Structure 1
C-alpha cells in the first residue's frame, strides 16, 4: 500500500513517514504541492496526505487535480493547522475523505490511515515512541557552545527531539579547545534531519555564535520560529517549548524567558549574582524604556520576520547582546509598537549551572557595556543600522572562511 505525503515542512514529514513505513506502508514524501502533483501522476498512491497551507501552489490545488482533473477517487486526507471552517467545508465539497487539525497525535494519524485504506499485510505492530505529536509549527533552536565538554546535556537534547516533532537544533561550536566538537559530531550522527552542527575556528564569543546560528536557521524555509538556548540547559527544554506555545498562540514577535522568583517556580541563583543582576536590570530598563524584569535570560524565541532586524548586524558588546536586540527592535518599529511585540514569560525552572564562564568581575564590566549600548544606539544611528541590505549581510555571512558545516 502506497502513501503520498505532501507538506512544506520537512520536520512534519519525517516522523510521519517513519511511522507509516514501520507499519508496512510504502511512503513517498514531497515538500512542494506542485512537485507532489507530478509525483502523484507517476507514483499512483493508495492514499494522499496533504497540507492545505503551502507557499505557491496550495494543498487545495492537489485536491482539485485529483478530483476535478484526473477524476479519480484516491482517498485524500488533509493534515493542516488551518482551522477555518470555510476552508474545511470547501475541502469536503471538493471530495476529501478526512480533515485533521494540527497539532495531533501521530497515533491518531495512523489510525485514520488504517481506516481509509486498511492495514498492510506485513505490518510491524511493535511501534516505539508512541507519544509523538505532529505540530502545526516548526521551530529552530540555536545552542552556542564553547568548551561544553563537561556541561553539554546530550541525552536531554536527544530525548527531546525524539518525543517532540517540529524541532531542528543548531549547535554552534564557537572555537572550543576541548572535546566539544567530537561530542557534537556524535550527537548529530544519525539525526542529521534534526541536528545541525557549525564550528568556528576561533572563539568569537556567545553573541556572535548566536548571531551566526540565527542567520543560518533563518534561511531554513520550513521554520516558523527561531530561538536560542544555553547549552547547559539552565532553562529546560520543556520550559522553552512553553515559550514557543506562547508566541505561537499570540501576536508577539519576541517571547523571552524570565527568571523572576515567584510561587511554584524553581529559580536558583547565587546571592552575589542576584544583587548584581538587580543593579544591571535597573540600568537596562532605563536604557530601553521597557519594564522588563529580566532581559538577560538565555532562552528566547523569535518570529521569523524579526530575525533580520535583530541579528542582521554584528553586536557591539560581548555579553549584553540581548539588550542590543531589544534596542534594535524598538528603533525599527518605534517604542509604542515594540512594546506590543515583546512578552516576558516567567519560567517554572531555572538553575544556575556550575562552570559559568561569566565571573562576578565580568558582571561589573557589563555596566560599562550598557553605557556603550546607550551611546551607540542613539536614534540617529538607526539609519546606519538599516542601510545595509539583508542580502549583502547574508552573502558575507556565508562567505566567512571561519565557519564550516560539520557533516558527521
Structure 2
C-alpha cells in the first residue's frame, strides 16, 4: 500500500517516512503542493497525508485554480485536487497545529476523510491509517510508539557543552531524541576534545535530529550560542530556536513546556525562572541574586525575576534581528538579547512579547549559586549593557 506524505517540515517528513516504511507501507514524500500533485498522479497512492499550512512554489501557482477561501491554506489544495477535480475516492488525512474549527470544516467540505491535530503520537497516526486503508502485516508497532510525538512546531535547540559526559548525565538525549520528533539538537563544543564517542554514536541514524557544530577553538559561551542560533536559523523548517546553558541543570520537560507556551501564543521570547526557594539556600546568595535581578528590571523596565537563567526559546525573527552582531558580554548576554529587542520593538511591546516561565522540575542546585567574583562581573557587565544600549 502506497502512502504520499506532504509536509514542508523535514523533521516531520523524515520521521513519518521512516516509521511508516518500517510498518511496511511504501512511502513517498513532497514538501510543496506542486510536487505533491505531480507525485499523486505518478504514484496513485492508497492514502495521502498532508499538512494544511503548506507552501506553493512560484512556478506552480498556475498549475490549478484555487478556491477563494483556501488560497492561504494550500494544504487544502491536495484535497480539492483529489476529491473535486479528479473525483477520486482516495482517502486524505489532514495534519495541522491549527486549532481553528473553520479550517477543519473547510477541509471536510472539500472531502477530507480525517483530521489530526499536532502534537500527535506515531501510535495514533498508525491507528488512523489502519482504519482508512488497513494494516500492513510486515511489522508490528513498537511498545513506546504512543510516547513518540510529532510536535506542533519544529524546534532547533543549541546545546553548548564543556563536558559531554556531564551533559549526557543531566539529560538522557537518546530518549529525548527518540520520543520528541519535532526537535533538532545542535551541540557545540566549548572545550571537551575527548569523550565525543557517545554523541557520535547517537548521531548515527539521527542525523536529521542531532548535529555537532564546530565554531572553532576557545570560543566563549555567548558566541557559541549566537553562532549556533544563526546556523539553525538558516534552516527554514524551524519555527522557533532556543538554547540551554551548560551550567543550568534544567529538565527537558520544562524546556518543552516553554516551547508549548510560545507555540500557543503570540509571544516571541520565553525565558525560564529558577525556583529560588529550592535553588538558593544561603542568605548572601539570595541578596546577590535579588540585587542582580533588581538591576536587570531597572535596566529593561519590564518585570523579569531571573533574566540570566540560561534556558530560552524565541522566534526566528528575534534571532535574525538580535543575533547578527557579536555580544559585548559573556555571562550576561541574555540581557543583551532583551535590550536589543527593547530597542527594536519598544519597551511597551517588549512586555507583550516576552514571558518568564517558572521551572517546575529543578534537577539540581549545585550550579545555582552565584560566587562573589561572578556577582561582581555580572554587576559590571549589567552596567556596561545599560550604558551601551541606553
**Is the structural similarity TM-score above 0.5?**
yes
CA contact (8 A) 1:139 1:168 kept: yes
Q: How high is the TM-score relative to the length of structure 1?
A: 0.85
**1:292 aligns with one of 297, 304, 317:** 304
User: Which residue is 1:224 aligned to?
Assistant: 239
Q: Deviations over 1:105-144 (max 9, x none)?
A: 3222211111111122434355543322232211111111
User: Which residue is 2:56 aligned to?
Assistant: 56
Q: 1:157 to 1:274 in 2, by over 3 A?
A: farther
Distance 1:127 1:45 in 2: 28
Which structure 2 residues correspond to residues 127-138 of structure 1 after superposition, within 5 A? 128-138=144-154
Give yes or no for the alignment of 1:242 onto 2:242.
no
Which structure 2 residues correspond to residues 9-408 of structure 1 after superposition, within 5 A? 9-56=9-56, 58-126=74-142, 128-153=144-169, 156-174=172-190, 176-231=191-246, 234-261=249-276, 266-267=278-279, 273-352=285-364, 354=366, 360-378=372-390
How far did 1:272 drift?
5.2
Q: 1:339 to 1:305 in 2, by over 3 A?
A: same
Distance 1:314 1:123 in 2: 51
Distance 1:85 1:138 in 2: 23
Give the RMSD, CA atoms, in angstroms. 2.4
CA contact (8 A) 1:78 1:99 kept: yes
Structure 1 residues without counterparts, runs of 5 or longer: 379-408
SS at match of 1:196: strand
Q: 1:39 to 1:22 in 2, by over 3 A?
A: same
CA contact (8 A) 1:83 1:101 kept: yes
SS at match of 2:214: strand
Q: 1:163 to 1:269 in 2, by over 3 A?
A: farther
- The alignment of Structure 1 onto Structure 2 pairs a total of residues equal to 374
How far did 1:307 drift?
1.4
